[in-house]
Each structure stands twice: as structure tokens, then as C-alpha cells.
Amino acid sequence: MFANGARPHPVAQKRSNAYGLYDMLGNVCEWTGDWMGLDYYAKSPAVDPTGPASGEARVLRGGHFLYPPMLNRASKRLWNEPGARTPIAGFRAVLAAMP
């Protein structure tokens, strides 16, 4: 499918991070709820910016299996239109902790 046989691997086949989470970087980019704003961070809050209130593209984070390791980091942002399908993007189901 891709050059050199590159492809995403099954979930949790590698070690988890310090928080016990698997595949946070480098397997597939993770869709986020944030809208993309090219100049948003120049004027955003310094702590926990949420992104623009609306837009045409959603943010993807974390890098993917086709990137070299140095580009697979949480701060890496890509974007695509909502509903776009690509082999380099996925999502993470989240369950809120019970009080």
C-alpha cells in the first residue's frame, strides 16, 4: 500500500506512555475537536487554548507512520475537512472518569 511496506500497526502493540496511554504519537494522527486557525496561536490564550469557535478544517495531532520519528510529536498539527477519510488519521474514544 505504501512505500517500504509502511502501515499503521494494531493498537497497543508497543509500550504505553507514562500515563498508560497507547499509540499517542506516530501510529496515526488523531482527530481533535479543534477547528484549524492558521494565525490562532498568535492571539490565543497562553494556557490551554481551545482553537477558533468555527472553521472549515479540523486539527489532527500526533504525527503518523509515514513521518520520520523526529516529526512525530504531540505539538505537530495537521488539518483536514471534517469527514475526510485518510489512512494516516484515526480517533480516540474517551470515557470520562466516574467521580
**Is 14 part of any domain?**
no
Q: What Å distances lie between residue 24 and 2, 5, 17, 80, CA to CA? A: 21, 21, 8, 19
* Residue 6 · residue 28 · CB < 8 Å: no
The whole-number pLDDT of residue 58 equals: 94
The whole-number pLDDT of residue 54 equals: 93
**Is 53 part of any domain?**
yes
Tens digit of each residue's pLDDT, the chain (99 residues):
676 778 888 888 888 889 888 888 888 999 988 999 988 888 888 888 878 999 999 999 988 988 888 888 888 889 999 989 888 998 877 778 888
**Is 91 part of any domain?**
yes
Domain limits for position 91: 1-7+25-99
State the pTM of this model.
Answer: 0.77
The whole-number pLDDT of residue 55 equals: 93
**Is 34 part of any domain?**
yes
**Is 18 part of any domain?**
no
Task: Tally the domains of the chain.
Answer: 1
Grid coordinates representing 32? 481533535
